[in-house]
Structure 1
Amino acid sequence: MRPTLPRWSGTLAVKAAAFITVMCCALAALLGVLVHVQVTDQTVGQARDQALQRLEQATERYEAGDPLRRGAAMDPPELPRQLRDLAVAGERGTMVADREGRPTMWAAGPADGDRALAVAVDYSQQARTIAGLDRAILWSSGLAIGATLLVGAFAVTRVTRRLHTTARVARRISSGDLDARVNDPRTAPRTDPPTRVPARPQDEVAAVAAALDSMASSLQGKLLAEQRFTADVAHELRTPLTGLHAAAELLPPGRPTELVRDRVAALRTLTEDLLEISRLDTGRERLELDTEWLGPLAERAVRAAGNGTEVRVVRDVSVETDRRRLERVLGNLVANAHRHGRGPVVLTVDGPVVTVRDHGDGFPEYLVAHGPQRFRTEGGTRGHGLGLTIALGQAEVLGARLVFANAPDGGAVATLALAVE
């Protein structure tokens, strides 16, 4: 099983902080290595020159028969074996090694026979200098990384805060709040006249915010135009339909008259549905709350629908709701189940949750995934009209949650969950 990382580890701020830290560490390590190598080479070079110079002086004294000074000796026991072999072979060389627990720069050269003349120079001060330099590099690198991380985190946090604001506005727009806007100050145009302070130049986040605001404005304009068109069409249709209904009532009895009256009634129902949708789209519907027992209310809604629907009350509950709107939701769900599904149709009340189940082919996939869409048909099948759209809109006004799904053994299931105090 793959280990799961915490959610915060995937945020942009954490990723940016990790990237900044890695880059700073890499840069500090590179600069530290370069400085360490440069200073070490210089320090070792100076100590080597000093040791070779003393070896040259010791060689001159040895050849002149003068006694050797302190620090110079023939085949000293502390002389590293590699350096002694090099001197016996006729070459001069240097090497840093410990002598009595202290770092020492050795220089050795050939003497008579298979003996080596060696000089020891104390290397403790140079070693302390290099060690102090390394500590200074580590401390300065740590301070530089910390300061860079703080500054970078501050800068990234400002960007992520603006991104979170943009994402929050996008979620509000997707939930239906088309008045939501980011209003990033960087998206404002440059002011005119030039005596006023110009706006700050745009960056990528501001460009995204401006695009989101532009999209929301365009979408809001189109939806408002659609709502006005729907309302205007419905209002314009009411007058001729009223006259057509009155004229149909004057026709002589017969099959043609029944067909005309049936179609006129369907048109009147469609017009009323369009008017109801236009009112729901405005978002200005007001609730008339009252306390109702959910079981009897569901039974009244089923009787009003006039269909053979079985009502099962598993657990009744008292809810504070708008009776007329709730009956409208339940009536539309039951009517849709009979119109587009197959019997038996069962309405179940289980506390504040009401389900309407039929045993037909189930809801289309698009409806389960995205909710009801007005007049949509798919694959040449009959669409679901406006009933489910109205039910969903009225459920939102009630503060309830309406979910559409398909039962595993077949059939459509609409679940209405009411809010309970």
Structure 2
Amino acid sequence: MSLRWRITATITLVSVLVAVALSLTVHFAYAYRLADEARKMQEERVELALREYSRTGRPSLGSRLDDPDLPAALRSVVGDGYTATMIEETPEGAYVWAAAAASDQQVLSLRSDYTAQLDALSSLDRVLVLGSLTVVALGAGAGVVIGAQLSVRLRRAASAAGRVADGDRRTRVSAAIGGGSRDEAAELARAVDAMADALQGRLDAERRVTADIAHELRTPLTGLTTAAELLAPGRPAELVRDRVRALRALVEDVLEVARLDTATERPDLSEVALGAFTTRRAAPYAPGVQVRVLADAVVDTDPRRLERILVNLIANATKHGGAPVAVEVEGARIRVRDHGPGFPEEVLAEGPSRFRKGTGSTGGHGLGLTIALGQAHVLGARLTLANPDGGGALATLDLAPYDHPTPPLGEELPPGWR
């Protein structure tokens, strides 16, 4: 049950309880008042009739002597020398009785109709029921309005927080729900904005440090590369040059990640025939990779960034996966499949993370998938990772718009890929 309906149900329940409590209080108070007034009036009348009987010896004012219809309970009380009243409800109607002892053996009683009072009480009950229903309806309506307003504000806050989480730095939760409010929802929104600003400041500081370190490493790395080239030929020189190349690749990757983190990168779009492009780029990089074009398509994308994604996916499959490695093009979708141990569970659950490699992986620095995901984001593409049936790892790059969902991975693969 959503918060809106919980608030509505709570207000409605409280309205019902209040209406019932007030109605019962008014009903019993009015009934007691009617009965008390009728008893007092009947008692005064019977006392007046008793005085007339004492003076004249005859019943008057509608009183009767030893009335056979007198209730036994009232007769027993009067027999002890008291004057008493009683309200009696029978199938024939309702009556108010008053009785007093006329002598040691005789009882003088007076009976009056009580139907008018009961009709008045019934009319009051109908008014109370109608008023209670009105109060409950108004309470439920107020609950719906209040709950709807709060629910809408919280949904706007959740949507704005989601955009902030996706990297939109201009979005503010407090502005999304209405910055002029001073209730708890506004306080929560301001707290979320403050937390987002603090986290963003820390991330920006970390990115600047990373970019500055990588940039500063370029100068000594250039000198180290030059010095390595001047070494005499031999195994030690080859080892030094190999480590220098690895260090240069790492620095360039770190710089690329830092640029992608700034969210300022923009693609240089052009039309690309995806099948021919993939075949030309994949074959020279990894001659053993199988490239299949099931259906070609022309997409509007950035060739340099697309090549970077493709090369990183193939490199990840060849280094950390198992042969055979196959690349399949189907329309605006590229699949890279290997038959190794598959992606680590933490990568599937949380996504690629810099400098994190799977257990048992050798080589690389854990930046390839991070860069591929960042470049795909710049292109407006979708990169998904999965471990399909039959083992191995499957990376799917979908260059179609986001309103074209990627089908479940593994279900569209040809039979030989399972």
Fold match (TM-score > 0.5): yes
Deviation of 1:328 after TM superposition, in Å, equals: 1.4
- Secondary structure in 1 matching 2:336: strand
3-state DSSP of counterpart to 1:339: helix
SS at match of 1:314: strand
* 3-state DSSP of counterpart to 2:173: coil
Q: Which residue of 2 aligns with 1:5?
A: none
Deviation at residue 117 of structure 1 after TM alignment: 6.2
Aligned: 1:46 with 2:37: yes
What is the deviation of 1:56?
Answer: 4.7
TM-score, structure 2 as length reference: 0.82
Query: 1:160-213 deviations in whole A, cap 9, x for unaligned?
Result: 44433332221112111233223469999xxxxxxxxxx98x543233222211
> Any residues of structure 2 matched to 1:230-379 within 5 Å, and which?
230-377=210-357
**Distance across 2 between alignment mates of 1:380 and 1:317:** 38
> Following the alignment from structure 1 to structure 2, what is the Cα–Cα distance between the partners of residues 11 and 60?
73
Residue 154 of structure 2 contacts residue 177 of structure 2 at CA under 8 Å; is this kept in 1? Answer: no
Q: Which moved more, 1:117-126 or 1:60-69?
A: 60-69
SS of alignment partner, residue 326 of structure 2: strand
Deviates more, 1:261-270 or 1:85-94: 85-94
**More RCO (CA 8 Å, sep 6+):** 2
- How far off is 1:96 after superposition? 3.0
**Maintained 8 Å contact 2:154/2:185:** yes
Aligned residue for 2:268, secondary structure, equals coil
Instruction: Answer whether contact 1:84 1:108 (CA < 8 A) is retained.
Output: no
Match of 1:164 in 2: 155
Q: How many residues align?
A: 396
* 1:87 matched to 2:75: yes
Measured against aligned partners, the alpha-carbon deviations of 1:267-296 in whole angstroms (never above 9, x if no partner) come to 222222122222212222222222323222
Q: Per-residue CA shift, 1:25-50, capped at 9, x if unaligned?
A: 10121121111111111111222233
Cα deviation, residue 105, structure 1: 2.6
What percent of counterpart residues are identical? 44
Shift in Å, 1:235: 2.1
> Which stretches in structure 2 are left out of the alignment for 5+ residues?
405-418
User: Which residue matches 1:7?
Assistant: none
Find the aligned partners of 1:379 and 1:157 in 2 and give their Cα distance.
Answer: 49
The 3-state SS of whatever aligns with 1:176 is coil
Q: Counterparts of 2:113 and 2:339 in 1: how far apart (Å)?
A: 98
Aligned in 2, Cα 1:211/1:380: closer, same or farther, shift over 3 Å? farther
Equivalence map 1:27-176=2 (5 Å): 27-56=18-47, 65-67=57-59, 69-70=61-62, 72=64, 75=67, 79=69, 83-84=71-72, 87=75, 90=79, 94-98=86-90, 100=92, 102-107=93-98, 119-151=110-142, 153-176=144-167
CA distance, structure 2, for counterparts of residue 73 and residue 339 of structure 1? 118
1:57 Cα deviation from its structure 2 partner: 5.0
Structure 1 unaligned spans of 5+: 1-9, 189-198
Q: RMSD of the TM alignment (CA)?
A: 3.3
Q: For the residues of structure 2 that align with 1:113 and 1:304, how far apart are their CA atoms? A: 131
